[in-house]
A and B are shown apart, each in its own frame.
With several copies, the nearest count.
Chain A
Amino acid sequence: MLDLSVNIGAMRLKNPIMPASGTFSEDCAKLFDIDALGAHVTKTITRDIRGGNPTPRVCEVRGSMLNSIGIPSKGVDYFKTNVIPFYDQYQTPLVVSISAGSADEFAQICEEVSVPGVAAIEVNISCPNIEADGKAFAMRPSTTEAVMRKLRAATDLPLWAKLTPNTGETTEVAQAAESAGADALVVANTMLSMAIDIHTRKPKLGNLMGGLSGPALKPIALRMVYQCAKAVSIPVIGCGGIATVEDVVEYLIAGASAVQVGTATFISPTVMVRLISELEAFLRTEGLSSVSELIGSIRDEEASDGVFFAEAAE
């Protein structure tokens, strides 16, 4: 029997495939059996009702996309009365993503969503759109540590800190989150980017800038996952540009204990179920019996040589 299950701290997931926040909703249940997933991760919510950013909110760049959705939110009450009960129908653990403009407000919503039906809380301390010029809590170790301590005090549920690729201090931020009590890291959110329509000379996003996601982000987020997995001892959940089973395996080898799939769901809404079965097939082909054998199995000790001869192509 192939064992696809993974542990994220005390949580056991039946497989390592889950959606990324903001790229999944109840609507997915119309497309496939969402109980097949390792976890359900909801779009980030804020306490109060928010409208989100001006349109256009997405645009395409070569082989990837930018978004400046912002965090439109129907508020925490709507979430508790409507969204949690929906996911209660399923066995799969529910992970609620939250955000706030200040650490205190963050702690408050964290407490408010610590209710039955919620298995873990993902804290989006990295959204590049919510504060001016993309400076989010997760840009600096100090602000990460401060907000994470308040969040830690506000709930007994597992806390997943979602990091940003926009910082130059990835490992320091990761360690700050860990030392402040994070149970896992989600690595990473989108990368602050821009696109301009050369004919109108207007930014392609109504919000001027937005976050890069999709395949272009993968080498960057994968590097961060590797750095984080080396720097902390809590589990790392990889996220960024995953579209194929090879991508999933690459993240696991780099040190991720599970992965989140975002933009790929827009390209193929049933991609996650396919990835689960392809991951199983991959294990079988490689003669492995469990996903855990892949996690962190990168062979980084040897300086690989890579010099090869004609024979290699034979």
Chain B
Amino acid sequence: MTDMTLNPIFETICRVKSNEPINREYRLIVLDAPSHILKCEPGQFFHLLCPTKGDLRPYLRRPMSIYGFYPEAGELHFLYKIAGEGTAALSALEAGENLNVVGPLGHGFDIQDDWQKLMVVARGVGLATLAPLAQKAQQMGRKLTAICSARSPEVLMSIDHFKALGAEVITVTDSEGTSGVEALEQLIEAHIQAEGVDAFYTCGSNRLLTMLQTICARHGIPGQIALEQQMACGVGMCQCCVRSFRRKDKIIHERVCKEGPVFNLQEAMGC
């Protein structure tokens, strides 16, 4: 028996519908996916078997956050950036080719009953991870404000996506000097004062993590963070993807692929 009391995980071959750059740095791949693999939660991920393409021969799978899942349309979306061999091979996939995916994997974001006003702080591929949260917030009738950060206005992403899902969007960029930690902290503090925030969501950098931990601790606001770590199996068996967390004054290890990728913001440790 496949143990169906556990959430099932599928290894599935999907056809590529499209795979196009969306700006100078990021690409969107859309897969034709059977609806049974699309019972996903925001923050979950798939583990992709990037193809062999010429000299590009990635061996292990590559984890990729679910950017969008549409059971009705039978579509699964990933937003990615070319980082190395695996993602380069992924970008060479053409419409009509196949991609083997394993998922959905991991524990996604929670929206607890009393979290009405949500704030997302995201940058880079973090936006891919956080975008589905906006959809869920809309479905649950929660208010969501997204601070989207990027190097420059041209590479800001997913703004329309967030807006379409009813989110309020605040953009900050390095080139405009609005994305620094201080500026961001002021912005967030002002937002907390003006409208209140019940929960924070991020998958930001070390600096962002530290800043949000301070703000959240100061105001007693809960928060969640999606983390990354190198993965082999992606489903919990190999124990390669552990990270350290501070819990009840002890340092513990948890697997990003299984206990995560979403963790309690206050417990997460930077590097």
Q: What residues make up the interface of A, taking CB atoms closer than 8 Å to B?
A: 22-25, 27-33, 35, 43, 51-52, 55-65, 67, 69, 72, 89, 214, 263, 265-270, 305-314
Closest Cβ–Cβ distance, residue B135 to chain A (whole Å): 20
Instruction: Tell whether, in the assembled complex, residue A311 and residue B204 are in contact, meaning their CB atoms are under 8 Å apart.
Output: yes
Q: Is B180 an interface residue (CB 8 A)?
A: no
Q: Is B8 an interface residue (CB 8 A)?
A: yes
Q: Which B37-89 residues have C-beta < 8 A from chain A?
A: 49, 57-61, 81, 83
Instruction: Tell whether, in the assembled complex, residue B243 and residue A55 are in contact, meaning their CB atoms are under 8 Å apart.
Output: yes
How far apart are the CA atoms of A29 and B9 in the complex, in Å?
9
How far apart are the CA atoms of A244 and B226 in the complex, in Å?
35
Chain B CB within 10 Å, residue with most, of A43, A55, A59, A214: A55
How far apart are the CA atoms of A309 and B258 in the complex, in Å?
17
Instruction: Tell whether, in the assembled complex, residue A310 and residue B129 are in contact, meaning their CB atoms are under 8 Å apart.
Output: yes
Q: Is B242 an interface residue (CB 8 A)?
A: yes
Which residues of chain B are near A69, meaning CB under 8 Å? 238-240
The bracket for how many chain B residues form the interface is: 35 or more
Instruction: Tell whether, in the assembled complex, residue B124 and residue A266 are in contact, meaning their CB atoms are under 8 Å apart.
Output: no
Q: Is B271 an interface residue (CB 8 A)?
A: yes
- Tell whether A269 pairs with B11 under 8 Å between CB atoms, given A27-B237, A65-B232, A310-B228: yes
Q: Is B125 an interface residue (CB 8 A)?
A: yes
Q: What residues make up the interface of B, taking CB atoms closer than 8 Å to A?
A: 1-3, 6-11, 49, 57-61, 81, 83, 100, 102, 123-126, 129, 203-206, 209, 226-244, 253, 258, 270-271
Instruction: Tell whether, in the assembled complex, residue A267 and residue B49 are in contact, meaning their CB atoms are under 8 Å apart.
Output: yes
Instruction: Tell whether, in the assembled complex, residue A30 and residue B235 are in contact, meaning their CB atoms are under 8 Å apart.
Output: yes
The DSSP consensus for interface residues of chain B is loop
Which residues of chain B are near A307, meaning CB under 8 Å? 229, 243-244, 271
The listed residue (A28, A52, A62, A310) touching B126 by CB distance below 8 A is: A310
How far apart are the CA atoms of A66 and B40 in the complex, in Å?
31
- Tell whether A29 pairs with B233 under 8 Å between CB atoms, given A309-B206, A314-B125: no
How far apart are the CA atoms of A103 and B230 in the complex, in Å?
34
Which residues of chain A are near B102, meaning CB under 8 Å? 31, 269
Instruction: Tell whether, in the assembled complex, residue A32 and residue B2 are in contact, meaning their CB atoms are under 8 Å apart.
Output: yes
Which residues of chain A are near B3, meaning CB under 8 Å? 29-30, 89
How far apart are the CA atoms of A314 and B156 in the complex, in Å?
12
Instruction: Tell whether, in the assembled complex, residue A313 and residue B125 are in contact, meaning their CB atoms are under 8 Å apart.
Output: yes
Instruction: Tell whether, in the assembled complex, residue B238 and residue A268 are in contact, meaning their CB atoms are under 8 Å apart.
Output: no
Which residues of chain B are near A28, meaning CB under 8 Å? 235, 237
Instruction: Tell whether, in the assembled complex, residue B228 and residue A52 are in contact, meaning their CB atoms are under 8 Å apart.
Output: no
Residue of A nearest to B9 (CB): A30
10 A-B pairs within 8 Å (CB atoms) are namely: A30-B235, A55-B243, A57-B241, A60-B58, A62-B57, A63-B57, A72-B239, A266-B61, A267-B61, A310-B129
- Tell whether A306 pairs with B230 under 8 Å between CB atoms, given A30-B6, A63-B59, A267-B60: yes
Instruction: Tell whether, in the assembled complex, residue A310 and residue B49 are in contact, meaning their CB atoms are under 8 Å apart.
Output: no
Instruction: Tell whether, in the assembled complex, residue A60 and residue B60 are in contact, meaning their CB atoms are under 8 Å apart.
Output: yes
Instruction: Tell whether, in the assembled complex, residue B228 and residue A58 are in contact, meaning their CB atoms are under 8 Å apart.
Output: no
How far apart are the CA atoms of A242 and B239 in the complex, in Å?
21
The listed residue (A29, A52, A270) touching B239 by CB distance below 8 A is: A52
The listed residue (B7, B129, B230, B237) touching A55 by CB distance below 8 A is: B230
Closest Cβ–Cβ distance, residue B44 to chain A (whole Å): 13
Residue of A nearest to B55 (CB): A244
How far apart are the CA atoms of A65 and B238 in the complex, in Å?
12
Chain B CB within 10 Å, residue with most, of A28, A51, A67, A269: A269
Instruction: Tell whether, in the assembled complex, residue A314 and residue B2 are in contact, meaning their CB atoms are under 8 Å apart.
Output: no
- Tell whether A67 pairs with B83 under 8 Å between CB atoms, given A31-B9, A269-B235, A310-B228: no
How far apart are the CA atoms of A64 and B58 in the complex, in Å?
9
Instruction: Tell whether, in the assembled complex, residue A23 and residue B238 are in contact, meaning their CB atoms are under 8 Å apart.
Output: yes
A52-B253, A269-B11, A313-B228 are known; give 10 further A-B pairs, CB within 8 A: A22-B238, A23-B237, A33-B2, A55-B243, A306-B230, A308-B228, A308-B271, A310-B123, A311-B123, A314-B123
- Tell whether A312 pairs with B9 under 8 Å between CB atoms, given A23-B233, A51-B253, A52-B242: no
How far apart are the CA atoms of A268 and B12 in the complex, in Å?
10
How far apart are the CA atoms of A263 and B240 in the complex, in Å?
13
Residue of A nearest to B234 (CB): A266
The listed residue (B203, B205, B239, B243) touching A43 by CB distance below 8 A is: B239
How far apart are the CA atoms of A116 and B9 in the complex, in Å?
30
Chain B CB within 10 Å, residue with most, of A24, A72, A263, A313: A313
Instruction: Tell whether, in the assembled complex, residue A35 and residue B123 are in contact, meaning their CB atoms are under 8 Å apart.
Output: no
Which residues of chain B are near A31, meaning CB under 8 Å? 2, 8-11, 102, 235
How far apart are the CA atoms of A64 and B123 in the complex, in Å?
33
Which residues of chain B are near A29, meaning CB under 8 Å? 2-3, 6
Chain B CB within 10 Å, residue with most, of A24, A25, A67, A307: A307
Closest Cβ–Cβ distance, residue A128 to chain B (whole Å): 16
- Tell whether A56 pairs with B204 under 8 Å between CB atoms, given A27-B258, A65-B60, A269-B11: no
How far apart are the CA atoms of A51 and B253 in the complex, in Å?
8
Instruction: Tell whether, in the assembled complex, residue B205 and residue A309 are in contact, meaning their CB atoms are under 8 Å apart.
Output: yes
Which residues of chain B are near A268, meaning CB under 8 Å? 11, 49, 100
Residue of A nearest to B226 (CB): A310
